[in-house]
Amino acid sequence: MAKSDVSPPQPRDDEPAGAQTPAGAGVGVNDGGASSVLVGLVGAGIQASRTPRLHEREGDAQGIRYMYKLIDLEVLGLSIDALPEVLTAAERLGFTGLNITYPCKQAVIGLLDELSADARALRAVNTVVLKNGRRFGHNTDWSGFAESFRRELLDVRRNVVVQFGAGGAGAAVAHALLRLGSGHVAIVDTDRKRAEDLANDLCGRFGPGRAFAEADVAQAVSTADGIVNTTPLGMVKYPGMAVSADLLRPEMWVADVVYFPLETELLREARARRCRTMSGGGMAVFQAVGAFRLFTGREPNGDRMLRQFDAM
């Protein structure tokens, strides 16, 4: 059963997200300054991921023998039900840890021994450290999104934000938006109950009315300062948009967590309508910054990793 008695950090609004990521949480961090690391990414349809090269190149720059493997459930012909076997196999093969992505970020929780405060609050895990026979779950997605937002959109108005998606990524992004001072987050999801559950969790942490499930997409977007897509829509495997392009207005900002491709259909339509935009590239880099720190016990160079990502 997952457990943790670590309290969530409360950073200042101007504190870099990299400083908040779970290395300071004291839960299952590899703290020996590793000289060799074997990690992997678990998910479905992940062959286009840039994460392995991003980690390995930063490892090279720090003199670490760093090996990052893709564990693609789709390629292996496995379903999410195979997740327990995957974690056991990783332990037996000596993996330092695993990154976790769609559709496993919430399903993995019941297989872990302990959670960081962020992972526990968000009920989503994207990084698992395997240490001393135990499994420690962390979430570096929210801080990765927050750091990207700080760098690209910190000056935008965000009294009302409409977020599409209430899954693992959605929980992290909504948490980040409210931590960054957004007034209200309206959550749209095809699963109404999932949207309501996430909104209730957020209100429990940030106060009544700060988040709510929304069914009337057109009405919500018509009064929104910005929108964020946290669904898989826009990925190569899942083309399309979560919102009609006709609802986009020039005064809005539009963010997407999808990073392959960097210019999703949503961002392309938003730019055509003169909206300010933010791709998922920054979130991908800065969640990796936090995961690298957890896996290695070393401090990564976030700016260097961002340059490496841009060069890929």
Enzyme catalytic residues: 105
Over residues 215-222, the mean pLDDT reads 96
By percentage, how much of the chain surpasses pLDDT 70?
Answer: 91
Query: Taking the mean position of all CA atoms in its chain, how far away is CA 63?
Result: 27
Chain segment 134-169, per-residue pLDDT in tens: 999 999 999 999 999 999 999 999 999 999 999 989
What SS3 string covers the chain?
Answer: CCCCCCCCCCCCCCCCHHHCCHHHHCCCCCCCCCCEEEEEEEECCCCCCCHHHHHHHHHHHCCCEEEEEEEEHHHHCCCHHHHHHHHHHHHHCCCCEEEECCCCCCCCHHHCCEECHHHHHHCCCCEEEEECCEEEEECCHHHHHHHHHHHHHCCCCCCEEEEECCCHHHHHHHHHHHHCCCCEEEEECCCHHHHHHHHHHHHHHHCCCCEEECCCHHHHHHCCCEEEECCCCCCCCCCCCCCCHHHCCCCCEEEECCCCCCCCHHHHHHHHCCCEEECCHHHHHHHHHHHHHHHHCCCCCHHHHHHHHHHC
Chain segment 182-192, per-residue pLDDT in tens: 999 999 999 99
Sheet with 65-72, edge to edge strand ranges: 65-72, 36-43, 97-100, 127-131, 134-138, 114-115
Top pLDDT among 88 and 46 is at 88
pLDDT at 88: 98
Alpha carbon distances (Å) from 162 to 32, 49, 173: 42, 27, 11
pLDDT at 194: 96
Which residue segments constitute the domains of the chain, with CATH numbers given?
21-140+283-311 (3.40.50.10860), 143-281 (3.40.50.720)
CB 255 within 8 A of CB 227: yes
Chain segment 229-274, per-residue pLDDT in tens: 999 999 888 899 999 999 999 999 999 999 988 999 999 999 999 9
Q: Cβ neighbours of residue 30 under 8 Å, at least 6 residues apart? A: 96, 97, 129, 131, 294, 295, 296, 297
pLDDT at 237: 81
